[in-house]
């Protein structure tokens, strides 16, 4: 058997390129709300979270709220909206006006969870974390079960998971005041809470208008 060629005379090997096409953005804004506002939201809205969730007996939430329903929400919306505008620019390629059409507060006790779901009648959804979150109870994003994936999967202990074959993505560990935004169609869930009470403030946002080659539509929050 001939000796292998030294590296400097090895035959030319082409270098492949991998392109990330049609990625789904998720924007994280650490410290979007300052501690004083976060504490005020927790104190004011935890007592209003009395509506039960049909997926978990240890999860309750407030009614759907509008920013004008409370001075605290007005202040929170004022801090969040500029980030919504930035995220909307990524999604639609233009700096549009945006409004937070609804906000609510979730209070999840130990053992509570949120089933897989997405948000209808909006374009951007977000979650503001108001209390510390147990590492096992971070928001988890998933591929839609009705997607266009192969019908047969390569899934066994020897598979290396990457961004192209993973079926879920667990968001980074949040701190109180952190914001995470995502397209409203993106499926997400919260695993069973193993820690103390977990309080979050989700919201949905819509643009003021959209224009598709002259076909224009206006939205009102």
Q: Domains of the chain: which residue ranges?
A: 23-211
Q: Check whether 139 has a pLDDT greater than 70.
A: yes
Query: Which CATH architecture is the domain 23-211 placed in?
Result: Sandwich (2.60)
CB 51 within 8 A of CB 60: yes
- Taking the model in full, what pTM does it have? 0.90
Which pLDDT band, with edges at 50, 70 and 90, does 192 fall under?
Answer: very high
pLDDT at 188: 97
**Mean pLDDT on 128-144:** 96
CB 206 within 8 A of CB 120: no
pLDDT at 145: 78
Residue predicted with more confidence, 167 or 183: 183
Q: What angle do CA 201, 92, 128 make, to 5 degrees?
A: 10
**Mean pLDDT on 72-96:** 97
């Amino acid at each position: 058997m001939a000796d292998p060629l030294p590296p400097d005379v090895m035959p030319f090997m082409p270098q492949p390129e991998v392109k990330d096409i049609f990625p789904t953005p998720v924007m994280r804004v650490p410290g979007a709300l300052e501690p004083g506002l976060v504490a005020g939201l927790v104190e004011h809205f935890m007592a209003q979270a009395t509506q039960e969730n049909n997926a978990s007996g240890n999860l309750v939430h407030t009614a759907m709220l509008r920013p004008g329903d409370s001075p605290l929400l007005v202040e929170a919306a004022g801090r969040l909206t500029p980030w919504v505008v930035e995220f909307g620019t990524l999604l639609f390629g233009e700096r549009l006006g945006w409004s937070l059409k609804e906000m609510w507060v979730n209070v999840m006790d130990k053992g509570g969870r949120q089933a897989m779901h997405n948000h209808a009648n909006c374009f951007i959804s977000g979650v503001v974390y108001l209390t510390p979150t147990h590492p096992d109870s971070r928001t988890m994003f998933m591929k839609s079960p009705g997607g266009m994936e192969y019908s047969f999967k390569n899934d066994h202990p020897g598979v290396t998971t990457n961004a192209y074959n993973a079926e879920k993505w667990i968001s980074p560990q949040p701190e109180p005041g952190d914001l995470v935004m995502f397209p409203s169609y993106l499926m997400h869930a919260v695993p069973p809470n193993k820690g103390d009470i977990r309080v979050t403030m989700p919201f949905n946002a819509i643009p003021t208008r959209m224009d598709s080659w002259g076909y224009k539509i206006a939205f009102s929050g």
